[in-house]
Amino acid sequence: MLQVHLAKNCNKCPDDIRLKYTNIIIEDENDVSSKKRNFQTVLNDHWDNDAEIPISKIKVIDRAWLKAFVACGLPFSAIENPFFIDAIKSLRTSYNPPTRGRLSGTLLDHEVISINSKVNNILLKSNNLTLGKF
């Protein structure tokens, strides 16, 4: 996606353009997060429910999978294992997990941009910072 490339990967991109696209991606992530806070997730809320899942809910679930894979050090290829897919489908048959490429690509890129933006905001608000070498 061009927005991710400009916000994260393009070394020739001017800072104002990089900031613009970082903000666009962050706003999209914040929309997902604000919708996520409107309900308390309980494992059996949607147990064995085959109703169609709204796109906003799919984004929240996909992001949770990404965090689980990164935090647990799981290989992204596991998301495409038939037994893993079967386990996910046993919880909610209408949910289709992201592909390995989407998990390790788009979702991971968006999360990196979101975290980098948070770190930059913290640094901008901080005073008397000193860089040193141990």
For the stretch 96-125, pLDDT in tens is: 899 999 999 999 999 999 999 999 889 888
Which pLDDT does position 108 carry in this prediction? Answer: 93
Specify the higher pLDDT residue, 14 or 45.
14
* Contact (Cβ atoms closer than 8 angstroms) between residue 25 and residue 3: yes
Neighbours of 7 (CB within 10 A): 26
Q: What was the pLDDT predicted at 103?
A: 92
> 108-129: b or e for each residue (b if 16 or more CB lie within 10 Å)?
bbbeebbeebeeeeeeeeeeee
As given in the structure block, the two tokens for residue 127 are 């005073």
Q: What is the pLDDT of residue 74?
A: 93
Residue 45's pLDDT is what?
52
pLDDT tens-digit readout, 20-47 = 888 888 887 766 555 554 444 454 554 5
What is the DSSP code string of the chain?
-HHHIIIII-TTS-HHHHHHHHHHHHHHHHHHHHHHTTS---TTTTTT--SPPPHHHHHHHHHHHHHHHHHHT--GGGGG-HHHHHHHHHH-TT--PPPHHHIIIIIHHHHHHHHHHHHHHHHHH--S------
pLDDT value, residue 134: 74
Contact 100, 81 (CB under 8 A): no
Supply the pLDDT for residue 7. 84
Angstrom distance (rounded) from CA 98 to CA 88: 11
